[in-house]
Chain A
Amino acid sequence: MSADGISTGMIEFRKERFADERDDTLNEIGKPTRRQDILGHVTGRSPFYDDHLFHGLLHMRCARSPHHAARIRRIDTTEAELNPGVVRVLTGRDVPLNLNTLLSLLDFGIDDEPVLSTDRVRYRGEPVAAVIAESEAAAREAAAKVRVE
């Protein structure tokens, strides 16, 4: 199929779909047009995700596996929980259905990846515990205090 065939097809489709939104003046074609959001971008005022300062925002950092493949004998979160600013430390046992929903949403077929590992890790960086704290620094600090054997 030619490139023309594809684009014509798409235009026909859009005509039908957005018939009530079109005015067919098409007077933007052939001349430069300014993005409507550009003033916010160059003045730094465009709001991005990280620019929302939610009141009472908590931060999460994970304790992750330093090994590519290993069995987990014990996860000790006591020291991490005592770290100032820590609200809660979660492990796989706290997750009711401990499966990463991404695989099932993709309809991948095999749904065997936990949110937080309990018995073994299958890749380096696999999350084993999640620390929720009042600040990013506290979460990071406490995540380093999670002991995994």
Chain B
Amino acid sequence: MKPVALTLNGSFRAAFTAPGQNLLDLLRRGLGDLTPKYGCGQGGCGACTVLVDGEPHLACLVLAEAVDGRNVETVAGMSGPTPHPLQEAFMAHFAAQCGYCTPGFLMAAKALLARNPRPTREDVVEAISGNLRRCTGYEPIIEAILSVAHGSARA
């Protein structure tokens, strides 16, 4: 067991990791943050997307010990007293059905808008290309992200 200390959604957290434990397991089981989802466990679906120092990473493929000293963000830290504009937009545009892929999409979208506040439709498609959604299409999600980027979010 090896200790890791990280900043999770602005709070200092520390935990012990077993050799080979991935970040997703550390977050979900070790630190009790259930917002990143376990989808495929092999980097194919994006349901476990979290931000490490602002960059989107697949938590199931990141070794837990690799985030020692890093800044990790999940959907749990996205909303304050009111939902984040992206969350509002996802609600307004019906961009979630069963909701399992939603945290991953929100993280990918947040990273995109942080590095490119005015993305084109192609930029959005590219940014969420690592995330799978099975319920319905990607259109409502693309529309939701674009509405935030262009300040027309119906909140």
Assess whether B96 is in contact with A41, with CB atoms less than 8 Å apart.
Answer: yes
Assess whether A34 is in contact with B91, with CB atoms less than 8 Å apart.
Answer: yes
Q: Does A18 contact B (CB under 8 A)?
A: no
Of the candidates B38, B76, B99, the one whose C-beta lies within 8 Å of that of A37 is: B99
**Residues on B with beta carbons closer than 8 Å to the beta carbon of A44:** 34-37, 74-76, 102-103
Assess whether B91 is in contact with A42, with CB atoms less than 8 Å apart.
Answer: yes
Q: Does B131 contact A (CB under 8 A)?
A: no
Residue of B nearest to A135 (CB): B18
Interface residues on A, range: 10 to 19
Q: A-facing mask of B68-103, CB < 8 A → 1, else 0?
A: 000000111011000100010011101011111011
Q: Does A38 contact B (CB under 8 A)?
A: yes
**Residues on B with beta carbons closer than 8 Å to the beta carbon of A70:** none
8 Å CB interface, A35-68 against B: 35, 37-48, 50-51, 53
Q: Does A137 contact B (CB under 8 A)?
A: yes
Q: Does B29 contact A (CB under 8 A)?
A: yes
Assess whether A42 is in contact with B90, with CB atoms less than 8 Å apart.
Answer: yes
Q: Does B106 contact A (CB under 8 A)?
A: yes
Assess whether B74 is in contact with A42, with CB atoms less than 8 Å apart.
Answer: no
**Residues on B with beta carbons closer than 8 Å to the beta carbon of A38:** 90-91, 94, 96, 99
8 Å CB interface, A86-123 against B: none
Q: Does B20 contact A (CB under 8 A)?
A: yes
Bound CA span A34–B89, Å: 12
**Residues on A with beta carbons closer than 8 Å to the beta carbon of B102:** 41-42, 44
Assess whether A48 is in contact with B37, with CB atoms less than 8 Å apart.
Answer: yes
Given A48-B100, A53-B29, A42-B83 contact (CB < 8 Å): yes
Bound CA span A81–B99, Å: 39
Q: A-facing mask of B95-124, CB < 8 A → 1, else 0?
A: 011111011001000000000000000000
Report B's interface with A, CB cutoff 8 A. Answer: 18, 20, 29, 32, 34-38, 74-76, 78-79, 83, 87, 90-92, 94, 96-100, 102-103, 106
Please list the 9 inter-chain residue pairs (A to B) with the smallest Cβ-Cβ separation, ordered nearest first. Answer: A44-B35, A41-B99, A44-B75, A42-B87, A41-B96, A44-B103, A51-B34, A42-B90, A46-B99
